[in-house]
Amino acid sequence: MPRIWPGSSLNVEEKNDELVVSATGDIFERIFLCVALFFTGLALYEWMRYHGAIHEERFKGILGAACVGWIGIISLYERSRFVFDRSRRVLTWSRRKLWGSKAGQVPFDAITRISANSPIGDDRTAPMRRVAVHTATEQIPVTATYTAELYEEQLKLAERISVFVGKPSHDFLMEMVRASAREGRMTEAIRLLRQERKMSLEEAKKIAEEAKKG
């Protein structure tokens, strides 16, 4: 199943009348698992070698590192699957965390919009994104966690889902441009406009400056 970007937890596949978005363990989950296993094993080795080691600062440091690893695993572990079925016009979804699971079905007609939102709704202070499905009564995030470095791909995924479920098109490109401009990444904002909208350099600069002010 093709991934949106290397190391990501999100996998997307479209075939026939289904768009399947699934979340598996990402690279950070694997890093925390390695840290947890290594330091847990090291702590056990130190304790078996010398039981009095539990009173030493070195052992406490090793144990602390192991705890950090296990806390990371608990926080990041997620397995989810969202199946958008265009023939039945139904979204079937499920999400499993270490402490529980949720699942449900949502008719396409009940979906009001698809968003790629930030945790506090402000790209200037929190340039993070996660894709979510909105209905009149709830918001169902495709992933529970937000992505900071690669939120541009989250916007593209939100647009792809919007088109697939037949919702009014939202200008996700301008969201990317505004976010880049506000963070001082003017070169990126201009590149997006020239690449996606085929604008001249002067036109792209003008719109990027306006996006930065707005």
**Residues 192, 204: Cα–Cα separation, whole Å:** 9
What is the pLDDT, as a whole number, of residue 175?
Answer: 73
Each residue's pLDDT, cut to its tens digit, for the chain (214 residues) gives: 344 444 456 788 998 899 999 887 777 888 999 999 999 999 999 999 888 888 899 999 999 999 999 999 888 888 899 999 999 999 999 988 888 899 999 999 999 888 877 665 444 444 567 888 989 999 898 876 666 555 567 777 888 898 899 886 667 678 778 877 887 888 878 887 887 778 899 998 999 888 887 6
| pLDDT tens-digit series, residues 25-77 | 777 888 999 999 999 999 999 999 888 888 899 999 999 999 999 999 888 88
Edge-to-edge, what's the strand order for the sheet holding 10-15? 10-15, 18-23, 79-85, 90-97, 100-107
**Distance between CA atoms of 16 and 111, rounded to whole angstroms?**
21
Terminal-residue alpha carbon distance, the chain: 39
What pLDDT is stored for residue 39 in this prediction? Answer: 96
pTM: 0.67
Contacts of 76 (CB under 8 A, 6+ apart): 25, 26, 28, 29, 32, 145
Phi, psi (deg, nearest 5) at residue 138 = -155, 165
Closest by Cα among 35, 54, 32 to 43 = 54
Helix-strand-coil split of the chain, %, nearest 5: 50, 25, 25
